Structure 1
């Protein structure tokens, strides 16, 4: 009899506070704010000290007090920037094609944070043809995306899930041992099945002499079953930093082609690990394929037209979406708590792991749609740290947990259960890294998309209900457009850099 493996320690903060939960910068800011109050008290100016205490206390609260995952000062900054962008029209967007200003169909025309991304085509890669590279100029990263067909893990046993989890860990470990890539993103979209493939198949195999009763029965089944049918789209994105690619790319010829050849070596080695995870096929996307994946992310209805063209067109027909048409037709100023694009509305969340731990496949309920026409997306972004960075991180974590335990013991206080658990996790992580394992940063994002004429808040509430008791969903207010990119588009964008300082 086997037991289900529980993965714990996933809810630990990446940058835990040293002093009463505060970072050194926050503690220093509080100390500086306390100096004027103490100075006036020492001078005997008690009324002035009281006024300064109120002002400095409010400033300290803005720096220290967290509100829904962000310090109050960062909230204030984001609100001001949001209002400024809305007032000046920076956050409103319309495609050049809709405005009649389209010049080059191969030039990307995307809103928001996607304006910094370019999509050059690499050379021919084996039987995949020309693979489209993803160049994030903001973060200086190069990557590529593959469309994967997978049967899912819903019907697998606990032993099979453990094997898949072990293989995923081995694949991440192999990425950590490579010098040119360090991030892997998995995106799963549960989309309404428009029935295009079935209609094309039925039109090709229709029998004119079929009885009317059989036709009516088939039509009734199509209406009842087809309305609630869904399908899954799975994408894998691999990327690496420019600093790591520069030297090997120069040796491979330099430029875009040199970077592509270096990435191709990694992509060739990832197909077997992906198939070991249960993937039936791995297709690295070309420019038109990636544009189609982006377009269907913004507008799920466009999938029917594109799929019908692929199934009914001849081999000589040019099938696909130009990069200039990959984005939405228009996107108004994003709301505080939703993102409107074309005729759809999306609400995005960050998925926070529970303190009690979780099991492999526990995120599946977030992909279970509850009504016809609804789409759900789930993205997992992984970054494998190098051996030196992992060693520094686990040593710092063990030192912080040990300092607090030693301080409490020196004052005669016993360690709490939380302290014991944290110390045990720190030791286990340090031993694992010393044994040759890697440390992985990760981020999870989920989203629900519905037609604009529906109440997106009702569908968002259903998504929150599915996560209740399993995970905590943090709604990414004031950043719904960026969160949409992280949760719904297969571009590998979504893992923030390590943050420190006051904010």
Structure 2
């Protein structure tokens, strides 16, 4: 037995027969020439306009790969213009020889408006939690590293407890009326054996010949078979809500930081409770910079571990990553992948199956298919306010009832899918009436390999892993840079922020 969830519904429902107001407006505007031709009794022209109107309806309504044809044309035009003008190609200030301040972020694309501030000292060790300010999306975010034993060896009771814990986490975030998104990120990389190599160098006896040390380390690398995973959770709070809460906590920047610290405490309590996390560590600015750097370049982690080990013996060793150097030095977007420094990545999202999904079903997606491959995924939980959730549920119910009424009048048989969708909408209304939270989570999966590896092949392997897990993959074409950031960089960037 497994814990299965199948009560998901569409994120958005159209106003009439599943169509949005923009689509309805385009269809109505395109029909005007037909009526003019009919009023003038120009029947040949009416036939031509009718064919053109049908073409406009198909281009507007029929989705292709998650977008309408007009959406694809608009996205392709914007991508082509940015590629021809060089706007989409990123070159860091360090590469151009213009690096002045090491504390200023130098990031590509959607990461450019970010600013990382240090919060007030907290806890016994007086850590300063990193506060991430996004000026474009007008949001604030904080990130924590989470240690969890996983679900691979869990039985039905533990899976049910973890599922209830995730529900409690989302409900806790919604009750505070501050958090708008929760990002749960997992990155799985073949073990670089950095810690074990340091242990060998420190614990091999002095009498052993140098050759034995080298031989042991070489055997360790050849015997590398493990996978190292790291989990992050990012809490996103909009500026409008945070500013209102900050008025009661001192106002201005200090009030905002105090409110974020309160959000961190509530989230940590939920994570260490039913969710089952063994440790939650809110990242400081240097720790977050290192997590961002290893997100762009997975192989840099071994050098950071070695530098931290040498700090005890070599005075003045640099163990931190400056924010000006945390991003890539050069990044070039392509239609179906993204190249950043000596790495390139493919990112896909997935479609939820009609039969539902089991807790832990995405574990197979995180298994690298090569010793040079890094797999990662991020589950984003957008949290709706109760008033907005009730309005969306009422709109979905009205649209479903209107469509059902039209089918009844036309004598069209109601299919099984329509009946199941109606049952789901009814259950959503019941749960909202009992105080439940409405969220429409989505998943972004990514694979990162060196530029010497065939990225097309590894993209195919990622899609195959998603299918084996029971989901349908959807490559995020023309948006690989933003999708990579969502899947790999724990800075609170998502695909739903309109401000980006």
How is 1:230-245 mapped onto 2 (pairs within 5 angstroms)? 230-245=227-242
The 3-state SS of whatever aligns with 1:279 is coil
| Large movers: runs of 4+ above 6 Å | 211-217
Residue 253 of structure 1: which of 250, 253, 256 is its match? 250
The structure-2 alpha-carbon separation of the partners of 1:498 and 1:389, relative to structure 1 and needing over 3 Å to count, comes to: farther
The structure-2 alpha-carbon separation of the partners of 1:392 and 1:21, relative to structure 1 and needing over 3 Å to count, comes to: closer
CA contact (8 A) 2:307 2:318 kept: no
Which residue in 2 is equivalent to 1:326?
A: 326
The 3-state SS of whatever aligns with 1:98 is helix
Tell me by how many angstroms 1:413 deviates: 4.6
**Aligned-partner Cα distance in 1 for 2:51–2:198:** 71
Tell me by how many angstroms 1:495 deviates: 4.0
Which residue in 2 is equivalent to 1:17?
A: 14
Note if 1:65 corresponds to 2:62. yes
RMSD: 2.2
CA deviations 1:90-140 (Å, max 9, x no partner) are: 011111112111111100000011011111111112246111111111111
The 3-state SS of whatever aligns with 1:134 is strand
CA contact (8 A) 2:16 2:399 kept: no
The 3-state SS of whatever aligns with 2:96 is coil
Tell me by how many angstroms 1:236 deviates: 0.7
Which residue in 1 is equivalent to 2:388?
A: 389
How is 1:465-480 mapped onto 2 (pairs within 5 angstroms)? 465-468=464-467, 470-480=470-480
**Aligned-partner Cα distance in 1 for 2:213–2:260:** 52
**Aligned-partner Cα distance in 2 for 1:103–1:253:** 34
Which residue in 2 is equivalent to 1:491?
A: 491
Which residue in 2 is equivalent to 1:95?
A: 92
Tell me by how many angstroms 1:25 deviates: 2.9
**Aligned-partner Cα distance in 2 for 1:365–1:149:** 19
CA contact (8 A) 2:18 2:399 kept: no
The 3-state SS of whatever aligns with 1:133 is strand
What 5-or-longer segments of structure 1 have no aligned partner? none
**Aligned-partner Cα distance in 2 for 1:409–1:39:** 32
The 3-state SS of whatever aligns with 1:364 is helix
Note if 1:77 corresponds to 2:67. no
CA contact (8 A) 1:184 1:237 kept: yes
Tell me by how many angstroms 1:345 deviates: 0.7
Tell me by how many angstroms 1:56 deviates: 3.7
Tell me by how many angstroms 1:410 deviates: 4.5
Q: What TM-score do the two structures reach when normalised by structure 1?
A: 0.93
How is 1:102-141 mapped onto 2 (pairs within 5 angstroms)? 102-126=99-123, 127=125, 129-141=127-139
**Aligned-partner Cα distance in 2 for 1:387–1:312:** 53
CA contact (8 A) 1:9 1:355 kept: no
**Aligned-partner Cα distance in 1 for 2:116–2:138:** 13
Which residue in 2 is equivalent to 1:346?
A: 345
Tell me by how many angstroms 1:287 deviates: 1.3
The 3-state SS of whatever aligns with 1:372 is coil
**Aligned-partner Cα distance in 2 for 1:432–1:199:** 53
How is 1:316-465 mapped onto 2 (pairs within 5 angstroms)? 319-332=319-332, 334-465=333-464
Tell me by how many angstroms 1:354 deviates: 0.8
The 3-state SS of whatever aligns with 1:295 is helix
Which residue in 1 is equivalent to 2:197?
A: 199
Tell me by how many angstroms 1:331 deviates: 0.9
**Aligned-partner Cα distance in 1 for 2:25–2:71:** 17
The 3-state SS of whatever aligns with 2:93 is coil
What 5-or-longer segments of structure 2 have no aligned partner? none
CA contact (8 A) 2:2 2:159 kept: no
CA deviations 1:179-205 (Å, max 9, x no partner) are: 222321010000122111111111111
Count of aligned pairs between the two proteins: 494
Note if 1:481 corresponds to 2:481. yes
Tell me by how many angstroms 1:47 deviates: 3.3
CA deviations 1:282-317 (Å, max 9, x no partner) are: 111111111111111111111111121123313986
CA deviations 1:52-110 (Å, max 9, x no partner) are: 33444433333222110011111111111111111111011111112111111100000
The 3-state SS of whatever aligns with 1:461 is helix
The structure-2 alpha-carbon separation of the partners of 1:203 and 1:115, relative to structure 1 and needing over 3 Å to count, comes to: same
The 3-state SS of whatever aligns with 1:477 is coil
- Of the structure 1 ranges 148-157 and 374-383, higher mean CA displacement relative to structure 2 is found in 148-157
The structure-2 alpha-carbon separation of the partners of 1:113 and 1:166, relative to structure 1 and needing over 3 Å to count, comes to: same
